[in-house]
Amino acid sequence: MRTRPTLTWEPTGGLPPASTDLTAVVDAVRAGGVAVLSGAGLSTESGIPDYRGEHGSLRRHTPMTFQEFVGGEQARQRYWARSQLGWRAMTRARPNAGHRAVTALAQAGLVSGVITQNVDGLQQSAGARDVIELHGSLNRVICLGCGLACTRSELDRRLREANPRFEAAAEHHRAARVNPDGDVDLPDEAVREFRVVACSACGTGVLKPDVVFFGENVPPERVAACRRLVDGAAALLVLGSSLTVMSGLRFVRQAAQSGTPVLIINQGPTRGDRWAAHRVGLPLGEALHAVVAGASL
């Protein structure tokens, strides 16, 4: 029997309180060799909500699981209709001060690499190079049949051609809030007539965004690359992640077990707090601006 993936986590007593003192973070960054692990909280100042914060999308939206996506045509129709509108909103998002601060630290040689749990591509748009997309990217699409990869822009063109009247629904729901996984809530009537297209190469394959859905495993070679980055780091800096899911939490555990300091900046407790040397509870844009200034960049 399949169980639903972990979507929420409730903190228990005894965890250390958050601080507003950034001294430990500034000292670690100044020393260099810092690996960054970023989550949805880093993109909230770009207009993309996180999953579990005060206004997180899980309060109103349950992400589609991998099992649901591959298990039925109706589920895929619902996903692609909602994603068709949500992806356009994602493309309008721009990097914020937090993304730019991480890039500045990387370009100064103080950050050795970034592991991002985000699928929005904003960290790369801010100019960062050594970014491992732990959960993939909404900008790519893969065929589950033949393995062909294409850009989301190409699929967008094909879906527009297949659904010329969907623009009316898109206009009506243009104000709908985009979710971190790149879709928006749409009523059944807006989804019912949406046509999903098959792979342009094999003609029958199911197309899926090149992202790791809830209930799906991160590719092992990607996990190995993250582990190597954490192994070689002088410190691990977690930015804007509650660390609820094991895909990110395992790197915090890895760092702590090897004696590498774990520093967390997140508004709200995280599942990794017990392994953290220090947690700061400040907005990321404000905090990272101060870290860049403290590192004398």
Every domain of the chain and the residues it spans: 20-48+95-135+217-297, 55-92+141-211
Sign of the C-alpha dihedral computed for residues 243, 31, 24 and 232 taken in this order: positive
Q: 296 Cβ partners below 8 Å, 6+ apart?
A: 30
Q: Each residue of 55-86: pLDDT tens digit?
A: 444 444 567 899 999 999 999 999 998 888 88
238: Cβ–Cβ under 8 A, 6 or more apart, which residues? 36, 37, 38, 39, 248, 252, 262, 263, 264, 265, 266, 270, 272, 276
* CA 235 to mean position of chain CA atoms: 21
Q: Tens of pLDDT along 226-262? A: 999 999 999 999 999 999 999 999 999 999 999 999 9
pLDDT at 187: 72
Neighbouring residues of 222: CB distance < 8 A, sequence distance ≥ 6: 132, 133, 134
How far is 19 from 268, CA to CA, in rounded Å? 11
Work out the average pLDDT over 207-234.
96
Among 152-161, 182-191, 198-207, 264-273, the least confident range: 182-191
CATH of region 20-48+95-135+217-297: 3.40.50.1220
pLDDT above 80: residue 286: yes
152-162 and 73-92 helices, crossing angle to 10°: 120
Split at pLDDT 50, 70, 90, the class of 45 is very high
Please tell me the least confidently modeled range out of 66-75, 187-196, 264-273: 187-196
Q: What's the confidence (pLDDT) of residue 282? A: 95
Q: With bands split at pLDDT 50, 70 and 90, how would you rate the model's confidence at 34? A: very high
pTM of the model: 0.88
The question of whether 61 is a catalytic residue gets the answer no
Confidence of residue 177 (pLDDT cuts 50, 70, 90): low
pLDDT at 18: 87
What confidence score (pLDDT) does residue 135 get? Answer: 96
pLDDT digits (tens, 9 = 90+) for 112-126: 999 999 999 999 999
Select which of 55, 61, 99, 135 is catalytic.
Answer: 135
